[in-house]
A = this chain, B = another copy of it.
Amino acid sequence: MSATHASPQPLRVTVWNEGRDERLHAEVAARYPRGIHGAIAEGIAEHLGDGARLRTATLDEPEHGLTEQVLAGTDVLTWWGHLAHREVSDEVVERVRRRVLGGMGLIVLHSGHWSKIFTRLMGTTCTLRWRAAGERELVWTLAPGHPIAAGVPHPIVIEQQEMYGEFFDIPVPDELVFVSSFSGGEVFRSGCTFRRGHGRIFYFSPGDQDYPVYHHPDVRRVIANAVRWAAPDGFRGKPKLIHSEAGWFDAGGRA
């Protein structure tokens, strides 16, 4: 082994956005001139550089921009939706779910907590308590040393944010990376990991259409960290029912 080596293949990341708030509200468009997806993609590029090959997709494209071919070429998908969760076709949701169970990483952002894909993978209502009042959010790291928390201050200070509070109806996370507090006194499990099938999922609540949260340097860093963390490790393929003969593992026919 020499002191240098070829880079691994760049991570293929698809940034998905509903894309409606930007079209309905001029102030959202002003805040996110390249769309919320544009801001998210920028933040990932900032941190992963050549290590990521980014594309974006939105609700109003054919098949929401998430054809079988796009997903086959995606290592990690990020998801932002808000007003139009119901317009996402069940077929595309099932397609994404199969890919996640087969190893594709999924980063669910903010109001994506109520998306079809997240509730379908969690099995619960994913409901919560909320208030849009421009409150300060403090994001505290509960798992120091977790790769998703690398390089961020304790706490991350977000000056203005929508309040999301408990009870957040999700399964107990595999790892609770962040818990937030809000000026109003509420708390929220704002950074949670889940493994489902062969896929890794990270839910991260900071980020909103009405506040410039996706321009916040620490929020960008967390999302970039999460994309790297959620990358599949080699194996791709949905788990399946397997009929096994006795002693199959002696025959070298390991699986």
B residues in contact with A141, CB < 8 Å: 166-167
- A171 and B145: CB pair below 8 A? no
Given A7-B5, A125-B240, A187-B180, A195-B171 contact (CB < 8 Å):
yes
| In contact, B157 and A232 (Cβ under 8 angstroms) | no
A204 interface contact, C-beta 8 A: no
Docked Cα-Cα span, A97 to B124, in Å, equals 9
- Residue among A128, A141, A197 with the most chain B CB within 10 A? A197
A167 partner residues in chain B, CB cutoff 8 A: 140-142, 144, 154, 239
Instruction: Kindly state whether residue A200 has any CB partner on chain B within 8 Å.
Output: yes
With an 8 A cutoff between CB atoms, is A254 at the interface?
yes
A195–B155 Cα distance when bound, in Å, is 21
Given A196-B123, A200-B145, residue A249 in contact with residue B4 (CB < 8 A)? no
A70 in the interface, Cβ–Cβ < 8 Å?
no
- Across the interface, which residues of B come within 8 angstroms of A24, CB to CB? none
Copies in the assembly, this chain: 4
The answer to whether the Cβ of A30 comes within 8 Å of any Cβ in the partner chain is no
Known A145-B103, A145-B200, A155-B254: A166·B140 in contact at CB below 8 Å? yes
Which residues of chain B have C-beta atoms less than 8 A from A122's C-beta?
A: 123
Q: A62 at the A/B interface (Cβ < 8 Å)?
A: no
**CB < 8 Å neighbour of A197 from B101, B124, B154, B240:** B124
Picked from B125, B183, B234, the residue with its CB within 8 Å of the CB of A101 is B125
User: Other CB < 8 Å A-B pairs besides A122-B123, A181-B186, 17 of them?
Assistant: A1-B50, A1-B51, A101-B125, A101-B169, A103-B145, A123-B123, A125-B240, A129-B244, A130-B241, A131-B244, A165-B244, A171-B174, A171-B196, A172-B195, A176-B176, A183-B185, A184-B246
User: Which positions in A face B, CB cutoff 8 Å?
Assistant: 1, 3-7, 49-51, 97, 101, 103, 114, 120-125, 127-131, 133, 136, 138, 140-145, 147, 150, 153-155, 157, 163, 165-167, 169, 171-172, 174-176, 179-181, 183-187, 189, 194-198, 200, 232-235, 238-247, 249-250, 254-255
